[in-house]
Structures are given as structure tokens and as C-alpha cells.
Amino acid sequence: MLSNCVNYKNFIEINLADNALEDDGVRAVKEFLWENSTLQVLNLNNTKLNDKSCKLLAGCIEKNKKGLSLKSFHIGNNEFTDVGLEDLRHFIESIKTIEVLDVSYIIKVDRRKPFKYEDAMQSLFNAILSRKAIISSINISGNHGINDKNCFDQFKKILFECKKVRSLNISTMGMSKSNCKELVATFLKLMNFGWNVDNNLRELIWNDDLKKSPSSTLKFLSAELPKIYNIKLKTL
């Protein structure tokens, strides 16, 4: 279907979510992206993509001479290892216009072929930081590996530097109790330094991991974030 759309170069949005694209489908997406410079929204959520898919997507960048103008990119609920995430990082970093990024539940959990989750997470965070000047919505929920010290420090860097983010989803990341405590302290520190003056965050979605924090902390955040900083906290 998508291969028949190559000649229609003025598409603004394509939603392929919940379709089993696999290799042939991704090749069609790649060929379409070679020719397109108007697409603003691409939704590939839950399309059975893998590491090879990321390599195919990364390969389309060099052939599109005009450059992609994606503003919203969704690739959640697919399964990649650290190898695929490195190609995905290259794809995201090459598109200078991305404002909305959904990379939820994309780090593959396979105990038969283990890999370093922290390497995959590093690639993910590097991709986000490359768009720090314009990114407004980040969904990284459901990805494990954040408990590595370097990854966690990099995540805190995202909080400090991605000041245009309005919505942040960090649910179900397997964050340790100590890191939850440190992250709460980081939020409070940011607020004490007038963080809300030059930061646009208005929605924080943080469920399972936050519940590891003391109930008093959860109660405090739920009360203070909306009242003082106009940030809606969703614990689902």
C-alpha cells in the first residue's frame, strides 16, 4: 500500500500503528521517505519492527537530499537491542525538526540473548538531547536500563536542558528505590532554583516507580506540583 504512495509527495501525516510491517513494510516506508520532504507526523507504534528496521530507516536519511521535516515521530511498542537503538539514534539526530517523540517500550527484553540495557538507554538519551532545543513531548516509559549511573546522570541532564518539554512520561522504567528518591530530590532542587520560570513542563506521568517513594513524598508532589508549578502529575 505505502509503495503506491511514493508518487504522492505532499503527505503531511502517515499512521501505520498496529500493523505488522516487518521487513517488507519498512522497506516501503524507507522508499517513501527517500522522496518526501513534507511529512510531519509518522506513527510506527506497535508495527513489529526490529534492529534491521532501524538500519533501514537510518539508511533513508542520506538519500533524501531535501531532508525530512518530521515534527512528530512515534515508534513505541517495538523491540530493539542496543544495535538497533544506535541506528535509531542516528535517524532521530538527523532530523532537526522533531518536537514530539514516543520511544516507549522499545528496549527488547530477551534473557536468551542478553545485551547491555544501559547502552541502549544511552543511545535513547543521546537522541533526545540532540533535539533539546525544540522537543516538547517525550515518552520513554517502559524502558529499562536507567539504573546505570551514567544513564541516570544523563536522564537528569535531560530534565535540566530540555526546557521546552511540556509532557514527560517516565512510567514503568524499573527505577530503583534510591534513584526514585534522588529523582524526587532533583525535581525539588530544580523547583527551588526557579526552574518553572524558564521550563515549560506541564504534565509528568510517573506511576509504578514513583510508588516506591514514601507516601508522604508522593502526597507532597501531587499537591505542590499543580498548585505552585502548574504541573499535572499523573500516577495512573
All 3 cell numbers of residue 68?
A: 525530512
Where are the strands (E) in the chain, listed by range? 13-15, 41-43, 72-74, 100-102, 137-139, 167-169, 203-205, 232-234
Nearest to 99 by CA among 67, 122, 69, 75: 69
Length of the chain: 236
Which residues have C-beta within 8 Å of that of residue 44, sequence separation ≥ 6? 16, 17, 21, 29, 74, 75, 78
Q: What is the pLDDT of residues 78-92, one digit of tens each?
A: 999 888 999 999 999
Query: What's the CATH number for 2-174?
Result: 3.80.10.10
Rg (CA), the chain: 18
Q: How confident is the model at residue 31 (pLDDT cuts 50, 70, 90)?
A: confident
Determine the distance from the C-alpha atom of residue 71 to the mean position of all C-alpha atoms in its chain, rounded to a whole number: 13
Q: Of all helices (H) and strands (E), which one includes residue 125?
A: helix 117-129
Which of the two residues, 96 and 10, has the higher pLDDT score? Answer: 96
pLDDT in tens, 33-57: 887 888 999 999 999 999 999 999 9
Distance in angstroms (rounded) separating the CA atoms of residues 42 and 84: 18
The number of beta carbons lying within 10 Å of the beta carbon of residue 8 is 11
151-198 tens-digit pLDDT:
999 999 998 889 899 999 999 998 888 888 888 888 777 766 555 556
Interatomic CA distance for residues 46 and 31, integer angstroms:
20
Per-domain residue ranges for the chain?
2-174
Quick one: pLDDT at residue 55? 92
Summary mean pLDDT of the chain: 83
